[in-house]
């Protein structure tokens, strides 16, 4: 063993790093793999204790004896002293990477078994703060700095709240600028985008999600530009709580309608979708679903003739589960999801992608729906709007169409009166849609949003669909934040709240639902020129809901009732579904359908599925037809397209 009290060789060495000023025998990098580890640590600590503070800059080591009880195990005390020493060295050397590596190498040796080391939280926070300031000093972080931060995070047990404050403060000057600019129009440099990629990876590695909303907005806006221009897509690692994919970057985050059918059981909900290279992840508050292309069979892209929206259908391999995706927030998400389902990575997308128009077969929302619309001088032109034309093409709904047209005429005339300098009557645009499921409430809400955009009332005219789960959080105080986030997405468009009565149940006290209602009412007032709200649900329940709160009844004074479809209208819907999907319904099948739907809807209440039932019936008929024709040898075109009464009979049996 070396002479542990051997003095240093002159004052010139004081400028050297402390570790290099130790005697040669004590300059160990930490990889001690023999049985004399404790002996070495004891000798090293004795040397530190015997060295003058002004020579070593470790005066704190001399104070350690008084901080520990004399009953502590001597070896444990020595380990604590050396651990503190190494942390101080890391701080004094401005979180030098070599000092960080040294501490990483020593820590496992200083913590044998289940023994614990001193937390020294204040020192750890100072180290983290210094490192964060260094990493973002030039306005961005690089890969080496990212790895250094991650090693430090996992080395010290620093509370997440403290780490969040440190890195929010350090990153704000540069990150805020890029996220704000990119989230607005997606037009930032690739260098800036790469900086955000590393920032997102940093947050994910530390299991933080406080900036998820801004990251998602930035990602979608940036990749929307890349898709239009045919440039390389960006992938961001966003911490969505699904551990398997917490490090793998995703291309797009959106919302869509997800339907699953397994025998007589079904699920129908609106979920958030994350688009990865080789899979899709769907999430809401209660459920997470993973879809890989290897588990997809019979993938089909088609449209709903009822509302002209794109849908994707497939079956799971080795499982009797059918899937349907529809009503995406944006056409780019639908495009990328379909690519992944086909087994194509989004980065393989060649050339610019132009979102299709609503009149096309795909039925995606047009990008033009997101552009600013200026009202011509003198008010909007008195020509028929595209939204009203689409409304006219819907089956049935005569009274609903009349109310929408009257509202359009009212808004148009008041705009013309305003342009002429006349007194204007303020028109309330918030509405209550009542009626049974499947009567077209969501479809009409989408056209309502388009109509208001065309009239210049709303700048964007997007429709944001939510239900109670999309507004109410699981903990006290978080519902207002969650509701605010949804409202922010709906600004300059329409917020559609389905089954809104569930926010105010008839029985029991629901403070969470009331918190969502209070937040909604306040924001409706704050953004009265930028937000239109439509609440929907069963007639009786919605009457009770609106009447339960004076604030609701004063703001929602327009009610649109959606009656059940008649049997003739449902037959027409079925015919349109068949035509859109290259199937034929002859007169005999049409007559049988009419009889079946008359019996099914006769005396039906508000629980009848209407167009939703027709869609399910059509899909069941297609399955029955497939099973029937599959047994034929060399079927001709007529056999491949013609549905008959036997298919209807089998479909009715399956649906019950």
Could you tell me the mean pLDDT of each successive run of 10 residues in the chain, 656 residues long?
A: 38 45 57 47 58 41 37 57 72 74 64 52 79 75 73 74 79 84 88 87 78 90 89 87 61 89 81 89 85 90 56 85 86 88 78 47 32 40 67 90 90 83 81 90 91 86 89 80 87 91 77 86 84 91 88 88 90 90 90 89 75 89 91 88 90 85
Q: What is the pLDDT of residue 114?
A: 42
Domain boundaries, the chain: 11-118, 251-348, 371-562, 567-655
In angstroms, the CA 246 to CA 524 distance is 36
Q: What is the pLDDT of residue 118?
A: 55
Q: What is the pLDDT of residues 190-217, one digit of tens each?
A: 888 988 888 888 888 777 777 888 999 9
Contacts of 517 (CB under 8 A, 6+ apart): 503, 504, 549, 551, 552
CA atoms within 13 A on the CB side of 585: 22
Q: Model's pTM, two decimal places?
A: 0.47
Q: Is residue 530 a contact partner of residue 538, using CB atoms and an 8 Å limit?
A: no
Helix or strand holding residue 266 (H, E): strand 265-275
Q: What is the pLDDT of residue 106?
A: 63
Distances (CA, A) of 242 to 204, 298, 336: 11, 27, 20
Domain 251-348 and domain 567-655, same fold? Reply is no
Q: What is the pLDDT of residue 40?
A: 58
CA angle in degrees (0–180, nearest 5) for 384-357-331: 130
Coil, helix or strand at residue 559: strand
- What percentage of the chain reaches a pLDDT higher than 70? 75
Q: What is the pLDDT of residue 377?
A: 40
Q: How many CB atoms lie within 10 A of CB 552?
A: 21
Which is nearest to 447 in space by CA: 411, 505, 404? 404
In angstroms, the CA 297 to CA 317 distance is 6
Strands (E) located in 350-394: none
Strands (E) located in 440-583: 463-466, 493-498, 531-537, 559-562
CATH classification of 251-348, choosing from 3.30.70.3040, 2.30.29.30, 3.30.56.10, 2.60.40.10? 2.30.29.30
Contacts of 591 (CB under 8 A, 6+ apart): none
Helix or strand holding residue 296 (H, E): strand 296-304
In angstroms, the CA 56 to CA 369 distance is 68
- What percentage of the chain reaches a pLDDT higher than 90? 14
CATH classification of 371-562, choosing from 3.40.50.300, 3.40.190.10, 1.10.3470.10, 3.30.565.10? 3.40.50.300
Coil, helix or strand at residue 185: helix
| 567-655 under CATH 1.10.8.60, yes or no | yes
Q: What is the pLDDT of residue 61?
A: 37
């Amino acid at each position: 063993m070396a002479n542990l009290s051997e003095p240093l060789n002159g004052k010139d060495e004081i400028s050297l790093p402390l570790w290099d000023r130790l005697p040669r025998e004590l300059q160990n990098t930490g990889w001690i793999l023999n049985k004399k580890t404790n002996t070495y640590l004891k000798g090293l600590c004795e040397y530190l204790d015997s060295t003058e503070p002004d020579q070593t800059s470790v005066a704190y080591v001399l104070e350690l004896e008084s901080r520990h009880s004399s009953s502590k195990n001597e070896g444990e005390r020595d380990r604590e002293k050396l651990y503190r020493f190494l942390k101080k060295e890391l701080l004094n050397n401005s979180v030098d990477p070599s000092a960080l590596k040294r501490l990483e190498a020593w820590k496992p040796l200083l913590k044998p078994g289940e023994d614990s080391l001193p937390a020294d939280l204040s020192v750890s926070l100072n180290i983290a703060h210094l490192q964060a300031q260094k990493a973002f000093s030039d306005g961005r972080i690089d890969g080496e700095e990212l790895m250094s931060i991650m090693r430090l995070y996992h080395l010290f047990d620093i509370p997440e709240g403290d780490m969040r404050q440190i890195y929010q403060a350090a990153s704000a000057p540069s990150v805020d600028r890029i996220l704000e600019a990119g989230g607005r129009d997606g037009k930032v440099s690739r260098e800036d985008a790469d900086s955000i990629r590393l920032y997102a990876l940093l947050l994910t590695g530390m299991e933080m999600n406080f900036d998820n909303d801004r990251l998602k907005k930035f990602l979608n806006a940036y990749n929307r530009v890349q898709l239009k221009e045919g440039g390389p897509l960006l992938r961001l690692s966003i911490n969505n709580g699904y551990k398997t994919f917490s490090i793998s970057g995703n291309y797009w985050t959106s919302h869509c309608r997800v339907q699953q059918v397994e025998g007589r059981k079904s699920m129908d909900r609106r979920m958030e979708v994350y688009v990865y290279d080789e899979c899709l992840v769907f999430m809401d508050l209660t459920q997470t679903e993973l879809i890989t292309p290897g588990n997809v069979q019979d993938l089909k892209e088609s449209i709903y003739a009822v509302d002209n929206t794109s849908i994707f259908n497939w079956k799971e391999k080795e499982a009797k589960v059918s899937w349907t995706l529809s009503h995406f927030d944006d056409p780019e998400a639908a495009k990328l999801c379909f690519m992944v389902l086909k087994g194509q990575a989004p980065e393989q997308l060649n050339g610019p992608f132009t979102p299709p128009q609503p009149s096309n077969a795909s039925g995606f929302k047009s990008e033009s729906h997101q552009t600013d619309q200026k009202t011509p001088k003198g008010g909007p032109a008195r020509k028929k709007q595209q939204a009203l034309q689409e409304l006219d093409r819907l089956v049935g709904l005569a009274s609903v169409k009349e109310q929408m047209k009257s509202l359009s005429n009212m808004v148009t005339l008041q705009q013309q009166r305003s342009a002429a300098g006349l007194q204007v009557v303020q028109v309330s645009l918030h509405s209550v849609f009542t009626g049974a499921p499947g009567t077209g409430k969501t479809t009409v809400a989408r056209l309502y949003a388009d109509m208001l955009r065309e009239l210049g009332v709303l700048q964007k005219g997007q429709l944001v669909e939510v239900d109670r789960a999309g507004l109410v959080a699981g903990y006290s105080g978080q519902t207002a934040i969650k509701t605010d986030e949804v409202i922010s997405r709906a600004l300059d468009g329409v917020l559609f709240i389905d089954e809104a009565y569930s926010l105010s149940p008839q029985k029991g006290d629901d403070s969470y639902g009331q918190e969502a209602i209070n937040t909604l009412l306040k924001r409706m007032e704050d953004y009265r020129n930028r937000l239109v709200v439509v609440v929907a649900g069963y007639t009786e329940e919605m009457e009770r809901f609106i009447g339960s709160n004076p604030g609701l009844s004063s703001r929602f004074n327009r009610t649109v009732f959606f009656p059940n479809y008649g049997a003739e209208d449902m037959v027409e819907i079925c015919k349109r579904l068949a035509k859109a999907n290259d199937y034929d319904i002859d007169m005999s099948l049409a007559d049988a359908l009419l009889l079946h739907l008359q019996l099914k809807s006769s005396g039906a209440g508000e629980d009848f599925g209407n167009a939703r039932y027709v869609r399910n019936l059509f899909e069941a008929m297609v399955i029955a037809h497939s099973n029937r024709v599959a047994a034929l040898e060399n079927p001709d075109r007529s056999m491949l397209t013609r549905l008959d009464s036997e298919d209807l009979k089998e479909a009715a049996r399956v649906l019950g």
